[in-house]
Structure formats: structure tokens, C-alpha cells
Amino acid sequence: MIDMRVASSADYDRIDALDDSFTTDRIFHVTGGDSGFEIRSVAVQPPLRKEYPADPEADLGDDEDEADDGHHTVVAVEGERILGFVTVSYAEWNQRARIEQITVDPEYRGKGLGGALMARAESYGRKAGARTLWLEVTHVNAPAVRAYRRFGFEVCGLDTSLYVGTPAEGEIALFMSKSLD
């Protein structure tokens, strides 16, 4: 049976060990012009495999200091095994909750676990007083973009320079949001 609970500091090593890589045969091609931008799905051959490097500066918060750092992490567990997690933060000045990271073990993807974690993030945002839930995703992560659209998110902006100087240089950040009203 899968349970959801707030992460504790004892969970962080297992959270960090989750495989957040993906393989896709489609990406989103972004073009811009004077009247805005267009995003369309295009096939890629061979399929693209993306692995994310460890982020030594990642701050997932914890049950002891989440009120101080503004991060809230929920884990999905089966016994002692962490199957996924979501970290969300809240900014009072603009009443926006932000998905900092959401990861589901590859074995459990496509089985509703991501949606259940997203529902927890939405609930946290509403309780905090957020009007919107916001996230950022690279244009090459088509599986995630499709999932976020199913969860009710819409593309609301992009940044062509966010990843400059990082291992993701050349990728485009898509910003997606969802009303919590």
C-alpha cells in the first residue's frame, strides 16, 4: 500500500537516490515572433535520454525547518521505499505556490502517483493562501509537459537563457501555471 506523508530529514538520501531521468521520442519546439511564441510537439530520432546531474544546492526543506525556509516536501512511500516526492514552496508577496521538484520512480510512472503528489502540492498551496501553482520545465521533457497539461497547467511563459552555463545549456525553460481559485 502506498502512503503519503511529509518528508523527514531521514528521507533525503533516499529522495536524492530517485531516478529522475527520462527518455522521449518527442520534444516541444519553441518559436517566437512579434506576436508571441508557438510551442509544438515534434518527433526526435533517435529518442532523447535525459539524465539530471545531482544538485548539491537543492533545498527540499524538512519537517523541522519548513516553516523557516518555505519548502514543503511530501513523499510517497511503500514500506520504507520512497516511490516519489514533490517539493513545493510558497511566496506570500504574490500568493504563488511553486513546484520546486516532482519526481516519480520510473517503475511507478503513468500509474497516477504523479497526479496524487501534485494534488498534495495543490492542497498545500491552497492552505498557504496561494492563488496559483507554478512550475518550470525544460522544453525537451515532453512527458512531463504532457502530464502537467493533464493536471490542468497551461504554458504561461518561457526563458531562453535560464539554463545558460548549466548542463542543460541550449534548452528552453517553459513556465506553466494553474489557478488554485
pLDDT of residue 54: 73
- 40 pLDDT more than 90: yes
**Spatial separation of the C-alpha atoms in residues 100 and 77, rounded to whole Å:** 19
pLDDT in tens, 46-99: 999 999 887 655 555 544 444 446 799 999 999 999 999 999 999 999 999 999
Lowest average pLDDT, out of 9-13, 46-50, 62-66, 168-172, goes to: 62-66
Give the rounded percent of residues in the chain with a pLDDT score beyond 70.
92
Distances (CA, A) of 137 to 2, 3, 9, 69, 98: 26, 27, 26, 22, 12
**Spatial separation of the C-alpha atoms in residues 181 and 179, rounded to whole Å:** 6
pTM, full prediction: 0.90
Please state the rounded mean pLDDT for residues 162-172: 95
pLDDT of residue 73: 98
Please state the rounded mean pLDDT for residues 27-38: 90
